[in-house]
Amino acid sequence: MPIISLPDGSEKHYASNPTIDQIAADIGTGLHRAAIAGEFAGVLLDTSREIHTDGELKIITGKDEEGLEIIRHSTAHLLAQAVKRLYPSAQVTIGPVIEDGFYYDFAFERGFANEDLERIEVCMREIVSEKLQVNRKVIERDDAVSLFREMGEEYKAEIIEDLPEGEQISLYEQGDFVDLCRGPHVPHTGFLRAFKLTKVAGAYWRGDSSNEMLQRIYGTAWNSKSELDEYLKRQEEAMLRDHRKLGAELDLFHFQEEAPGMAFWHEKGWTLFRLVESYMRNLLRDYNYMEVHTPQLIDRSLWERSGHWETFQENMFTTEIEKKSYALKPMNCPGHVQVFNQGLRSFRDLPLRISEFGIVHRYEPSGTLHGLMRVRRFTQDDAHVFCSEDQIQTEVETLIEIALRVYSDFGFNEISVGLSTRPAKRVGSDDLWNRAESALQAVLEQRGMAYTTYEGEGAFYGPKIDFVLNDSMGRKWQCGTIQLDFSMPGRLDAQYVDTDSTKKTPVMIHRAILGSVERFIGILIEEYAGKFPVWLAPIQAVVMNISEGQKEYSVKISDSLKKAGIRVALDLRNEKIGFKIREQTLNKIPFLLIVGNREVETEHVAVRALSGENLGSQPKASVIKMIQDASSLN
């Protein structure tokens, strides 16, 4: 006789084992109609599952986060069923939930094109209208292998064969479609009302480039059509803000096949890059950092001692010179330890803060490269603080202060914080990891900062604090990181003489605020849609003449602005002024300075803001001050 406890504190008593569906019906008609699954004793279950023991039950609907994930997983199965109806020779492989949606990989000799998506969507909607019951079935592992082999689904059979012998396998059936899955799923396909297939891409079987290429269909799914429409609207806006599109339109950078994952920076883009770099350099000067520059190519032996060769080799670019192995640095930390090791260090030198805008190279599979967001060559605003154990809290608190100041200056004020703990593949003893994790946790708690713990997601050498930026479109970007390392300094023989004249190993704090400068600039481009604040704009003002007679005065105005430190361009083309204004507005230049005969006579400049606002005709000195004031961060 199970006793079911509900979230409102009430209880339901049953003489026999009820299903979750029955309990939902007993609670209320509306909840019963909306019920997707149940969470019983912390485990998500299908509504058809029986409850055999006392416990707490929460009915899950599409309004719950768990319910939305179930909808998306069920829609992936819906997609696979539609593909099998339309293209029987296609084999299904895996179909997981991802952020805002799902994908499913197929082995299909012809391949899919974007034009196929509409046809597949129509079929999916037909299956939704059929309201097919979704039923769970448990069978033995070997029987499952045989079943999928009989259906011609070799990929599914291979997945099951990798599972331990004797394990029971759960399958889900809807109509004539059967799929391997742990579940849970929606009760019937009629729950899947709001979805959209978005694109087709290639993907290697099991993510291994040595395996065959599959066809991946992406989609999004939501609890309601209004939520779907809102998401698609955000995606449309995101496409307009795409940094790759704006990078080309604003002449900032480009990529080409001869250097995959490595940006070619154009003049305006490189100006933006140097502005970001200069901002960070000036800030770090206030916090007593010494800036260094370390080699790109370093002997394998150093990477072996640091632990990178063992744990990170597959992501490193290597070469052989004079029968010795070298690697392009994927990280700056071992080089900074070498700087620390020059000369005898004392406790009086600590904390020692070393920074570098270090260019690093990491191998990323070609299929994962994505503009500036995922590259193979990038610059880190990297720094390492060498300190004693009793200095950790003060240094980490200062680093958090720096990070929050930087993000605020760039316009990001909504920040999420994560604490990532020891991964399975790591260096260092458990005692060192315990101390490192406790130290970071203590700082966050003493500052009263809300944070989420991510078990097993730390760096191989230490736990870390991560900063996630929330942009104006509600997207999240992982940027800065503070990593505590008790291992690498010892592995690389870093020592200092303590107050008692004994040699001690310093603690090493790895930190990057922007992370990858390239990626951060990509985020900025999308955040501002290319309309950078005046202090960041590669060109802050453009001087335009109306006709030939104002060229000389236009050049004079331009020269005065340059001498005042303003980044200015000249547009003296023999074009109509309306054409120039439209074009420079598309270039998203903050101030358009227009010179006509009246401006020449009065020694003024007509000023127009990027918004289209007419700021009137002003003396040169007033224009300079206005632009300088607008360029201030204060």
CATH of the domain at 406: 3.30.930.10
The pTM (predicted TM-score) of the whole model is 0.81
Which of 502, 420, 497, 496 has the alpha carbon at shortest distance from 461? Answer: 420
Q: Which of 174, 380, 483, 584 is catalytic?
A: 380
Residue 533 belongs to some domain of the structure: no
- Per-residue pLDDT, averaged over 198-210, amounts to 86
Identify the domain boundary among 36, 61, 86.
61
How many distinct structural domains can be found in the chain? 4
Which segment of 144-158, 369-383, 591-605 scores lowest on mean pLDDT? 144-158
Q: Which of 77, 216, 329, 362 is catalytic?
A: 362
- Per-residue pLDDT, averaged over 193-205, amounts to 92
Active site residue 268: no
Active site residue 479: no
Same domain, 381 and 457: yes
Active site residue 380: yes
Q: Which of 422, 510, 580, 608 is catalytic?
A: 510
CATH number for the domain including 614? 3.40.50.800
Which of 348, 413, 421 has the alpha carbon at shortest distance from 386? Answer: 348
Active site residue 181: no
C-alpha separations of 107 from 153, 161, 211, 497 in Å? 10, 18, 12, 62
Q: Which of 384, 491, 511, 519 is catalytic?
A: 384
pLDDT of 634 over the 70 cut: no
Q: What is the pLDDT of residues 536-576, one digit of tens each?
A: 999 999 999 999 999 999 999 999 999 999 999 999 999 99
Active site residue 188: no
* CB neighbourhood size of 438 (10 A): 12
Query: What was the pLDDT predicted at 252?
Result: 97
Same domain, 380 and 280: yes
Same domain, 161 and 121: yes
- Per-residue pLDDT, averaged over 507-524, amounts to 95
Q: Which of 382, 471, 485, 571 is catalytic?
A: 382
Active site residue 362: yes
Same domain, 519 and 443: yes
Residue 411 belongs to some domain of the structure: yes
Give the chain's mean pLDDT: 93
Q: What is the pLDDT of residues 315-371, one digit of tens each?
A: 999 999 999 999 999 999 999 999 999 999 999 999 999 999 999 999 998 878 899
Range of the domain at 277: 253-527
Active site residue 382: yes
Q: Which of 77, 116, 174, 333 is catalytic?
A: 333
Same domain, 367 and 349: yes
Same domain, 206 and 290: no
Identify the domain boundary among 469, 492, 527.
527
Q: What is the pLDDT of residues 32-80, one digit of tens each?
A: 999 999 999 889 999 999 999 999 999 999 999 999 999 999 999 999 9
What b/e readout covers 293-327, taking b as 16+ CB neighbours within 10 angstroms? Answer: ebeeebebebbeebbbbebbeeebeeeeeeeeebb
Same domain, 221 and 370: no
Same domain, 432 and 363: yes
Tell me the C-alpha distance between 61 and 63, whole Å: 5
CATH number for the domain including 146? 3.30.980.10
* CB neighbourhood size of 330 (10 A): 17
Q: Which of 464, 519, 567, 608 is catalytic?
A: 464
